[in-house]
């Protein structure tokens, strides 16, 4: 690897693995700060590639193409964690990858992630790993019913997850997940799901946003409000755990820690996302420094920005379902002066596909929530 300056100054070129909307918003933040951006993904005309200086289209398994890509940039980051570890290792022979391959390897596989958390004493749902049908039967018995079976790798937005309420269902679920390694978690009843997004710089500086509260529909994030309506001790504990995870990973970049708040008030770590996160989209409009600018600052060795919210805020995802009866009424949503529209440049709306989002700010999180829901409803008028 060639020497890289501690601070990568504006004017340098930053590389992004992945072509989705997170890469798009990262590129917008980076270009505003004077950086150039190159993206790499198997697809062309991607949301990120549309706003980048250069879009490289090649497979993540093409190690020669990855090394050639890395030679054109000074640091590489991720907007999509399901990248083969071999790809990260190839790039790391040329330039730094931030966050590191170790952090990615830990977070992209649920069994490793759960083991990492449990070994360090972080609170999680009771779980067990399984790599065969017999092990899955044993894991369900150990964890207890009801349980949730999740594929160990490549899961997001609820994909590869199945609830089990009776032992007789285990064999069917094993077939449904394609006979692949799995994690079994005890099913818990929730009062809330929250996330803490934080950034850690090269010098160890950590900055975190207040906890955000998330609501899902069909396992896909539907609505985020900030700050989360949880007791102050829960919010403080979530921030403390997030900081400790960043330190344990010696992380550089933006990390999202998703938490369950159970009905009896327990706080449990659900998942890690080693990148900016859907729930943090509202920071683009409502925070002094967005999560995407924090990612730029962190990977380039710059001091981190303030994560303070300027006003309470809410974010509503726009899924492809909104296009079922034609083009949504954008003017109706934009008629609300405190609502911001973000579209990702995807040309093929499909049910469940994230096409964009709306952000609203208000005097309170509830006011912002009501406004963003009204604006999204107006799209169908």
CA separation for the pair 183, 162 (Å, rounded): 11
End position of a domain, from candidates 186, 213, 229: 186
256 and 311 together in one domain: yes
Q: Last residue of a domain, which of 186, 208, 224?
A: 186
Query: How many domains would you assign to the chain?
Result: 3
Residues 137, 177: one domain?
Answer: yes
Its domain, for residue 30, covers 13-97
Confidence band, pLDDT 50/70/90 cuts, at residue 64: very high
Same domain, 278 and 341: yes
The alpha carbon dihedral of 279, 281, 284, 285 has a sign of negative
Q: Is 112 within the bounds of a domain? A: no
103: in domain: no
User: How much is the pTM?
Assistant: 0.94
CATH number, domain with residue 238? 3.30.470.20
Residue 148 domain-assigned (yes or no): yes
Which position has the token pair 């207890």? 144
Whether residues 174 and 80 fall in one domain = no
Q: How does pLDDT run across 163-182, given as a tens digit for each residue?
A: 999 999 999 999 999 999 99
Say how far apart CA 31 and CA 296 lie, in whole Å.
10
pLDDT at 155 over 80: no
Q: Is residue 89 part of a domain?
A: yes
Note whether 353 and 374 are same-domain residues: yes
Q: How confident is the model at residue 1 (pLDDT cuts 50, 70, 90)?
A: low
6 inside domain: no
CATH assignment at residue 133: 3.30.1490.20
104, part of any domain: no
Domain annotation covers residue 1: no
Both 166 and 208 in one domain: the answer is: no
In a shared domain, residues 294 and 355: yes
Residue 82: pLDDT over 90: no
- Which pLDDT does position 2 carry in this prediction? 47
pLDDT, mean of residues 304-327: 97
Task: Tell me which H or E stretch contains 212.
Answer: strand 212-217
Q: Indicate if the pLDDT at residue 145 is higher than 50.
A: yes
Do residues 315 and 335 lie in contact, with contact meaning Cβ atoms separated by under 8 Å?
Answer: no
Per-residue pLDDT for 5 more than 80? Answer: no
Using CA atoms, how far apart are residues 374 and 224, in angstroms rounded to an integer? 14
249 and 302 within one domain = yes
Tell me the DSSP string of 70-88. Answer: HTT-SEEEES-S---HHHH
% of the chain surpassing 90 pLDDT: 90
- 342 and 298 both lie in a single domain: yes
Q: What is the pLDDT of residues 200-253, one digit of tens each?
A: 999 999 999 999 999 999 989 999 999 999 999 999 999 999 999 999 999 999
CATH code, domain with 61: 3.40.50.20
Q: Are residues 63 and 181 in the same domain?
A: no
Do 344 and 254 fall into the same domain?
yes
- Residue 218: CB atoms within 10 A of its CB come to 11
160 and 247 in a single domain? The answer is no
């Amino acid at each position: 690897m060639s020497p890289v300056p501690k601070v990568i100054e504006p004017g340098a070129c930053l590389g992004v693995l992945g072509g989705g909307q997170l890469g798009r918003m990262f590129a917008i933040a980076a270009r505003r700060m004077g950086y150039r951006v190159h993206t790499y993904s198997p697809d062309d005309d991607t949301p990120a590639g549309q706003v980048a200086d250069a879009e490289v289209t090649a497979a993540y398994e093409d190690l020669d193409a990855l090394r050639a890509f890395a030679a054109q940039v000074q640091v590489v980051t991720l907007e999509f964690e399901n990248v083969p570890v071999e790809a990260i290792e190839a790039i790391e022979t040329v330039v730094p990858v931030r966050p590191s391959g170790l952090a990615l390897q830990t977070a992209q596989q649920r069994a490793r992630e759960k083991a990492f958390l449990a070994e360090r004493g972080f609170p999680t749902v009771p779980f067990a790993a399984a790599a065969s049908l017999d092990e899955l039967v044993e894991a369900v018995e150990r964890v207890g019913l009801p349980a949730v079976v999740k594929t160990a790798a490549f899961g997001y937005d609820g994909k590869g997850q199945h609830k089990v309420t009776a032992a007789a269902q285990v064999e069917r679920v094993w077939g449904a997940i394609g006979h692949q390694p799995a994690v079994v978690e005890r099913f818990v009843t929730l009062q809330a799901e929250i996330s803490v997004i934080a950034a850690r710089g090269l010098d160890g500086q950590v900055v975190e946003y207040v906890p955000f509260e998330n609501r899902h529909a069909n396992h896909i994030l539907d609505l985020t409000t900030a700050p989360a309506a949880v007791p102050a001790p829960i919010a403080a504990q979530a921030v403390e755990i997030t900081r400790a995870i960043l330190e344990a990973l010696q992380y550089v970049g933006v990390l999202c820690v998703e938490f369950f708040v159970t009905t009896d008030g327990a706080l449990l770590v659900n998942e890690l996302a080693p990148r900016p996160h859907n729930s943090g989209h509202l920071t683009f409009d409502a925070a002094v420094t967005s999560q995407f600018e924090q990612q730029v600052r962190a990977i380039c060795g710059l001091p981190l920005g303030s994560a303070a919210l300027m006003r309470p805020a809410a974010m509503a995802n726009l899924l492809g379902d909104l296009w079922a009866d034609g083009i949504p009424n954008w003017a109706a949503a934009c008629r609300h002066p405190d609502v911001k529209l973000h579209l990702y440049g995807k040309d093929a709306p499909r049910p469940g596909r994230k096409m964009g989002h709306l952000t609203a700010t208000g005097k309170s999180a509830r006011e912002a929530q009501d406004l963003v829901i009204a604006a999204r409803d107006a799209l169908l008028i």
